Chain A
Amino acid sequence: MECKKMAALVLAGAMAVTTMTGCGSAGGSDKYPSKDISVIIPKAAGGGTDTAARGLIQYMKENLEGANFVATNKPDGGGVTGMVETSAAKADGYTLGMVTVELAMFPWQDKCQVTPEDYAAICAPIAAPAALIVPADAPYDSVDDFVAYCKENPGKVQVGNSGMGAIWHVAAVSFEKEFDVELKHIPYPNGSADIAAALTGGHIDATIADPSSYKSQVDAGEMKILGIMSEERSSIYPDVPTFKEMGHDMVIRAWASLVAPKDTPEEILTQLRDAAKTTCESDEFKEYFEKQGIDPQCIIGDDCQKMMEDDYAMYEDLLKDIETE
């Protein structure tokens, strides 16, 4: 008897919960957005991609009437799971996701099947360029000096990266190819903090990485940036020359883009892109990023899609030569 009563109670409760939660999603109307928009972040909470994503949606909320973004971190599988999940989500504008430059690299390394073509880009708030960073007391003051030094000491100059096959290692390898030098690649899988410690402690000679992670050391005069691999000079380090200016066409950037699944309706995409554009151009947004040493970008819609696909094409060549067995 009691058992039956209990079962009935539990069942009633279960039904109540289902209908309650069901209501939230069923109450559809034609106006977008009419419910929470979930944003899948394929990296752990607190990292660079996460900070950028949360910053972007926090300010974007104000420019998209009625929108409420809910961020979910899915760092499984080195970020692949989260990116795949975004591409496979229902293309109704209620599931967006961040994708990173790894999306342009992983397919060539047999680590995932999705490519930039599986998404519709909304905007890229960050695109950190690779920069050649050395300790301030190093005997070279320009990229040419550094190259000359490398030629004198082939295979001896130790360059820190964030792991073989990861973007900054690829940047260092393309540097080797461009200047015909031989470097010794030292991996620091935990990333910039460990590289900064190793550079300051004099354990390595240089690193090719995102300069924003080394801002405080550069400002304090402990490290110097010799060159930057971007299209234009950085707004944070306007004095640092680009490799392009020096006649070397090298553009390597670690971007993170907010994207929607491929077949998302055009009018929803336009709405989102407009909101993102207003956000990226606002001063508070820029200030938020600049305060953290990040150079905010405003790459919207088709430009963003083009950047993702260009990089995807570029890495095919670059990664061919890097063996990752």
Chain B
Amino acid sequence: MGNMKKANYIISVIMLLIGVGIVALASSLKIKLGEGDPGAGFWPMMLGVLIIVFSVCLLFSTIKNKEKLEAKAFTIATPANIRVYILFGIIILFCLILYFLGFYVGALLFIPAVMYLLEVRSVKKIVLTTVITLAAIYVLFGMLLNITLPAPIFMR
């Protein structure tokens, strides 16, 4: 179980770090006030400072509204969440397949895998969905718009 208090603490710390990082990186860029363009570093520097300021604000407002935020809960480790995390894995795998074997091969494996995860067991349903989706994409992108989707690595 996650709750908004914890989440806000984590967010404000991450944001604080990002803000500090931006300020550090921006300080190596040119900042020159007073004559013409204030330089490439001015705007990011300003954003970095604002992010730091507002993440500190978030931290304090979270401390102030501790009880109220603690009551706001959301799920992060239920079986439903775990299914999403498994899906994360499938998607990362799909990205790799996409890179090496191209789009059509990848999608041919990806769509059935996702449907299987969603507890579809009817082979007919799976095959139909896969074939129709890919055919439609091929007609729309490949034929009508002439957009080439990623090809297998040995064909590039």
Contacts and interface: CB of A to CB of B under 8 A. Distances in A.
B105 to A, nearest CB: 5
Interface stretch (B3-11, B19-27, B79-87, B145-153): B145-153
A10 B112 contact: yes
Contacts of A9: 123, 127
A72 B148 contact: yes
Given A14-B105, A17-B108, A6 B123 contact: yes
Given A17-B108, A21-B102, A25-B155, 14 more contacts: A6-B123, A6-B126, A10-B109, A13-B108, A14-B105, A14-B108, A18-B101, A21-B151, A21-B152, A22-B155, A38-B148, A70-B146, A70-B148, A325-B30
B29 interface: yes
Give 3 nearest A-B pairs by CB, closest first.
A17-B104, A14-B108, A14-B105
Interface string B96-136: 00000110110011001000100001010011001000000
Given A2-B121, A21-B152, A72-B148, A10 B108 contact: yes
A320 interface: no
Interface string A288-325: 00000000000000000000000000000000000001
A-side interface mostly: helix
A14 B123 contact: no
Contacts, number: 39
Interface residues of A, number: 18
Contacts of B130: 13
Which of A6, A9, A71 is most buried by chain B, counting CB atoms within 10 A of its CB?
A: A6
A87 to B, nearest CB: 15
Nearest to A71: B146
Nearest to A13: B108
Measured as residues with beta carbon below 8 angstroms from the partner, the interface class of chain B is 20 to 34
A5 interface: yes
Interface of B: 29-30, 40, 101-102, 104-105, 108-109, 112, 116, 121, 123, 126-127, 130, 146, 148, 151-152, 155
A71 B148 CA distance: 9
Contacts of A18: 101, 105, 152
Contacts of B116: 3, 6
11 contacts: A6-B126, A10-B112, A17-B105, A18-B101, A18-B152, A21-B104, A21-B155, A38-B148, A70-B148, A72-B148, A325-B40
Contacts of B155: 21-22, 25
Nearest to A324: B40
B131 to A, nearest CB: 8
Contacts of A21: 102, 104, 151-152, 155
A271 B51 CA distance: 58
A21 B150 CA distance: 12
A38 B116 CA distance: 37
Contacts of A10: 108-109, 112
Given A13-B108, A17-B108, A5 B123 contact: yes
B106 to A, nearest CB: 9
Contacts of A38: 148
Contacts of B151: 21
Contacts of A6: 112, 116, 123, 126
Given A21-B104, A21-B152, A2 B123 contact: yes
A181 to B, nearest CB: 17
A2 B127 CA distance: 13
A255 to B, nearest CB: 26
A70 B141 CA distance: 13
A50 to B, nearest CB: 14
